[in-house]
Amino acid sequence: MRKKDVLLISILSVLLIAGLLVDLNAGYAQISIWELFTGNPILLNLRLPRVLGSILVGIGLSLSGAVLQGVTRNDMAEPGILGINAGAGLAIAIFIVFFQGGNTNYSLMMPILAFIGSGLTFWMEYRLAYWHGKVHPKRMLLMGVAISLAITALTTILMLRMPDSQYAFVQNWIAGNIWGADWPNVIMLLVGISVLGWFVYYRSRTLNGLMLGHDTAIGIGIDVNRESKLLLVCAVALSAFCCSIGGGLSFIGLVAPHLSRRLAGPNYVHLLPVSALVGGVLLVYADIISRTWFLPYEMPVGITAAVIGAPYFLYLLVKEK
């Protein structure tokens, strides 16, 4: 590992730990961090799993975005923009309306539903963007935006059939609310991101090859179709795990990889660890803002993330033009 990477990772780790400590004390009730060691139930059972969940969601979304950008060679590819998160939301809304009835305990089904919805949505986009033996990046972006709008409209129609409690749940989910932050969900998310993150990092040199282009990647011995499909499944699974806890968060998977490229360079061996930390840092500080600026109310962290990420997306569009 380069000295530059060690320094970057050290600085980002300090920022992440500082954000974790500040976020533990954020909210309506002010509680000392030291009460964590005395077994304070608010810190141990409510705030700590939420903060860890925020960090893990940021890590997972940033890795998902980095992989999507590498495989599609599209700088603007991101789970939210491509409609992957919207697909997860539609699957959850369908389940609530037609199968769940009055039971509002969704935590066991959320990861499965999110993966099914995300996977079907991205498969549809991939097939539509696949033309003459390869995926066209700009075509995929346009398909993603169009399908995302259609799915959002369908989700809204389904929400009109829901009772108030379920309507509020889906609305908060779409806005990007860290709703499922209890210890079982956090542990599930940690295991999922650890396994998928390790696999993606193991394929980092393959991602470097894919970034060179379809023909060049084949020329250096990469099975482009197989590797692309494997990495895309991992990206969708990472996004689905994060959606199951963090809802329809957008733009973290766009901004974090881009900032990381400026810091660590385009080599995925160095980019992926830095991108994971940048994503965690961005989301934990967005969570702090959401929980402190509007007291005694709390704004969904997805809105804060969108305020940060939307201008950057516009900047990329102008730059691409």
Q: At 130, is the secondary structure helix, strand, or coil?
A: strand
- For 246-262, write each residue's pLDDT tens digit: 888 878 888 899 889 98
> Would 233 be classed as within a structural domain?
yes
- 134 DSSP 8-state letter: E
Reading the block at residue 276, the tokens are: 């994971």
Q: 297 and 275 in contact (C-beta within 8 Å)?
A: no
Tell whether 237 is covered by a domain.
yes
CA dist., res. 301 & res. 249, Å (int): 8
Could you tell me if 288 and 265 are in contact, meaning their C-beta atoms sit under 8 angstroms apart? Answer: no
Distance CA 254, CA 274 (A): 14
Q: Taking 70 as the threshold, does the pLDDT of residue 101 lie above it?
A: no
pLDDT bucket at 291, cuts 50 / 70 / 90: confident
Average pLDDT in the 46-75 region?
Answer: 90
Domain assignment present for residue 15? The answer is: no
Q: Identify which has the larger pLDDT, 173 or 195.
A: 195
| CA nearest to 210, candidates 71, 61, 8, 65 | 71
Whether the pLDDT of residue 58 is over 80: the answer is yes
pLDDT bucket at 37, cuts 50 / 70 / 90: low
What is the rounded average pLDDT of the residues 156-183?
Answer: 81
Average pLDDT over residues 15-36: 77
**What is the number of structural domains in the chain?**
1
Given a cut of 80, is residue 320 above it in pLDDT? no
pLDDT beyond 70 at 242: yes
Burial class (CB in 10 A: 0-12, 13-18, 19+), 35: middle
Tell the residue number behind the tokens 């929980």, with chain if given. 291
The residues with which 131 forms a beta bridge, in sequence order, are 134
Pure H helices in the chain: 3-24, 41, 48-72, 84-95, 110-129, 137-159, 164-175, 183-202, 204-211, 214-219, 224-246, 252-264, 268-292, 301-320
Q: Quick one: average pLDDT of 174-186?
A: 79
Contact 185, 107 (CB under 8 A): yes
Residue 308 in any domain: the answer is yes
12: left (phi over 0), alpha (psi -120 to 50) or beta: alpha
pLDDT digits over 102-156, tens only? 455 556 677 788 889 988 998 888 888 777 666 677 777 788 888 988 998 999 8
Q: Are 242 and 189 in contact (CB under 8 A)?
A: yes
pLDDT-based confidence at 321, cuts 50/70/90?
low
Query: Has residue 184 got a pLDDT over 60?
Result: yes
Any domain includes 311: yes
The per-residue pLDDT of the chain, averaged, comes to 84
Percentage above 70 pLDDT, the chain: 88
pLDDT, residue 102, reads: 46
> What CATH number is attached to the domain comprising 288?
1.10.3470.10
- The domain in which residue 200 lies consists of 39-320
Q: How confident is the model at residue 65 (pLDDT cuts 50, 70, 90)?
A: very high
Q: Which of 3-17, 58-72, 92-106, 120-134 has the lowest mean pLDDT?
A: 92-106
Chain-centroid distance of CA 302 in Å reads 11
Q: pLDDT band at 305, cuts 50/70/90?
A: confident
Confirm whether 199 is domain-assigned: yes
Residue 171 in domain:
yes
Half-sphere exposure of 95 (CA within 13 A, CB side): 22
Q: How does DSSP classify residue 321? A: -
Confidence band (pLDDT; 50, 70, 90) for 281? very high
Q: Does residue 24 sit within a domain? A: no
pLDDT at 96 exceeding the cut of 50:
yes
Given this model, what pLDDT does residue 76 score? Answer: 80
